[in-house]
């Protein structure tokens, strides 16, 4: 699929809402039904017992590394209006696509290894989108090389998070997100620390510091980690016995692109 045609159309009249087939429309209506009564979070501790609320599936809960739909729902409903453009540059199984569509937003999803025809093959370090064109970016990149997403050497998850190249790649993604996001609009970025083979890597803090070079932090949310492979009695036993902790949460960083036309530090 030619990604550039999507970028070329952005912000132009023919971009409009993504055309929906009859079955997509049915899913959207059911999805909207599932999400409209979904309470928005009021605190900075988010805990979603299931990947998707109710009986409708957003993304694919079997996908290793899938994002809880509640995270995207909260961001889309809080920071966009119907018709706004939502972009996920590392879309995985398409959770952002399904949530944003169900809520009547326009949405573009990219991934190096697309798993659905409505996800466009693209490296997140070079987005085929014009400057200042996106209303909301959501990013849930690999956290290290713990999951094999694809054999593509450009996959961010081919390097461990202790390697310098890992954070450099995340920064290249952040720069593209910054370029394409409209001023004063929001980025939600999900990330986790790593504890592996006796060594802790504070990837959350490192990523936050990197993002703060480009964006103004609005808040930090802790999202309870559930359904991880390590969430079982054997790993819990090992954690107690060998004196380490299993990761219990992920960070959701909520940041805004500063508006260069407005005096620094002035945000709504």
Ligand X SMILES: C[S@@+](CC[C@H](N)C(=O)[O-])C[C@H]1O[C@@H](n2cnc3c(N)ncnc32)[C@H](O)[C@@H]1O
Question: Which residues of the shown chain bind ligand X in the complex (CB under 6 A)?
Answer: 59, 63, 65-67, 90-93, 95, 111-113, 123-125, 140-142, 149-150, 154-157
Tokens (6 digits) for 148:
């094999």
Tokens (6 digits) for 127:
């987005």
Residue (16 or 165) nearer to ligand X, CB: 165
Q: How far apart are CA 211 and CA 209, in angstroms?
A: 6
Q: Supply the minimum distance, in Å, between the C-beta of residue 186 and ligand X.
A: 17
Residue 244 parent element (H or E): none
Question: 67 and 93 in contact (C-beta within 8 Å)?
Answer: no
Residue (64 or 240) nearer to ligand X, CB: 64
Residue (11 or 65) nearer to ligand X, CB: 65
Residue (46 or 184) nearer to ligand X, CB: 46
SS3 assignment, position 31: helix
Residue (128 or 258) nearer to ligand X, CB: 128
Q: Supply the minimum distance, in Å, between the C-beta of residue 133 and ligand X.
A: 18
SS3 assignment, position 147: coil
Question: 201 and 164 in contact (C-beta within 8 Å)?
Answer: no
Q: Supply the minimum distance, in Å, between the C-beta of residue 210 and ligand X.
A: 16
Q: Supply the minimum distance, in Å, between the C-beta of residue 173 and ligand X.
A: 7
Vertex 66: Cα angle to 225 and 122 (nearest 5): 135
Q: Supply the minimum distance, in Å, between the C-beta of residue 58 and ligand X.
A: 8
Question: Nearest residue by C-beta to ligand X?
Answer: 92
Q: Supply the minimum distance, in Å, between the C-beta of residue 259 and ligand X.
A: 27
Query: Which whole-number Å values give the CA distances from 84 to 100, 133, 151, in the listed order?
Result: 9, 10, 34
Residue (156 or 255) nearer to ligand X, CB: 156
* 166: alpha, beta or left? (left if phi > 0; alpha if psi -120 to 50): alpha
Question: 142 and 65 in contact (C-beta within 8 Å)?
Answer: yes
């Amino acid at each position: 699929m030619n990604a550039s045609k999507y970028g070329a159309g952005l912000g132009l009249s023919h971009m409009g809402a993504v055309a929906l087939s009859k079955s997509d429309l049915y899913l959207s209506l059911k999805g909207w039904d599932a999400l409209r009564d979904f309470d928005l979070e009021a605190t900075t501790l988010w805990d979603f017992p299931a990947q998707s609320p109710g009986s409708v599936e957003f993304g694919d809960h079997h996908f290793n590394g899938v994002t809880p739909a509640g995270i995207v729902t909260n961001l889309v409903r809080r920071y966009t209006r119907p018709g706004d453009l939502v972009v996920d540059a590392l879309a995985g199984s398409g959770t952002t696509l399904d949530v944003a569509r169900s809520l009547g937003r326009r949405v573009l999803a990219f991934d190096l290894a697309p798993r659905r025809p409505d996800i466009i093959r693209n490296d997140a370090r070079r987005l085929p989108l014009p400057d200042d064109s996106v209303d909301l970016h959501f990013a849930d990149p690999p956290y290290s090389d713990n999951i094999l997403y694809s054999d593509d050497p450009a996959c961010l998850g081919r390097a461990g998070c202790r390697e310098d190249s890992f954070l450099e790649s995340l920064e290249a993604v952040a720069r593209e997100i910054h370029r394409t996001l409209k001023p004063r609009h929001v980025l939600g970025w999900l990330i986790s620390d790593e504890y592996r083979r006796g060594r802790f890597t504070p990837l959350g803090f490192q990523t936050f510091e990197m993002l703060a070079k480009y964006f103004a932090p609005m808040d930090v949310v802790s999202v309870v980690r559930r359904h991880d492979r390590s969430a079982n009695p054997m790993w819990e036993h090992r954690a107690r016995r060998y004196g380490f902790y299993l990761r219990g949460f992920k960070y959701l960083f909520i940041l805004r692109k500063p508006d260069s036309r407005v005096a620094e530090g002035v945000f709504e």
